[in-house]
Structure 1
Amino acid sequence: MGMGAAAHSHLQRGRRKRRAPMSEINVTPLVDVMLVLLIIFMVTAPLLVAGVAVDLPESRAETLDQNMEPVQLSIDAAGNVSIGDEPVALSDLPARLEEIAAQPAPPEGRRIYLRADRSLDYGAVMGVMGELNRAGLNRVALVSVGEGQR
């Protein structure tokens, strides 16, 4: 019996020396990798937005048919309206805008560039924009000059 007890105690000691399986996940390496990836994306993201100068090759292929240039609508300091280079009386403006709206346009709609003199009254510009809206021309861009380009 003495021998059996000694063998039994030896087995128990052997079991105690074994390590219990780890039941926790070590997230430190995962966090380290994620922080490195975050830094890489933070550094490279601005480079993706900036344009890169590329010397494109020439091709003998025909250009795509893109006749849909934006309509240039201008209002000078005196309040005179022009579509392109052609002056238009304010009384004729709604009819002319309806003609433009009736022409075939791309699926996203016809673009209108509105150029107005800085000395104009806000109401005069909004009156023309109201006529554009009434004609169904809703893609209006207000054109301005960037700082230092005057």
Structure 2
Amino acid sequence: MPRKEKQGRRASAPSDEPLMDINTTPLIDVMLVLLIMLIITIPIQLHSVNLNMPTGNPPPSDLKPEVLRIDIDALSVVQWNGEPLADRTEMERRFEQIAAQDVQPEVHLRPDRRAKYEVVAGVMASAQRTGVSKLGIVGAEQFIP
């Protein structure tokens, strides 16, 4: 049997029936906190780099690696094992010969602190372009003030 409202009451006044609406504010708050936690923790996991490192000690090598010295003096003259190079094409030709070897020699680049940067960078770029993989800068302690 339907209830009859009293005449003095308004239709929007509370009645004895339970409310059917759910308060969603706490639910939204919890969902936002979980979303923020997810946003914060995901980038940390993506920045990891997995490396397969060898175990144990490798046996010592009896062979000493061949070392090639490239010096750049204060006047930016490039020397290949003490021999001045005529131009960059000769240097690249020699780098191509090194890159074609099965076991590449170690290339030690020793620039003078007064040498032009573009010459040093050009030597390194030529070595990279021709495929030389064992290149190191030697004597970098002279650049520390």
TM-score, with structure 1 as normaliser: 0.47
Answer 1 or 2: which has greater helix percent.
Answer: 1
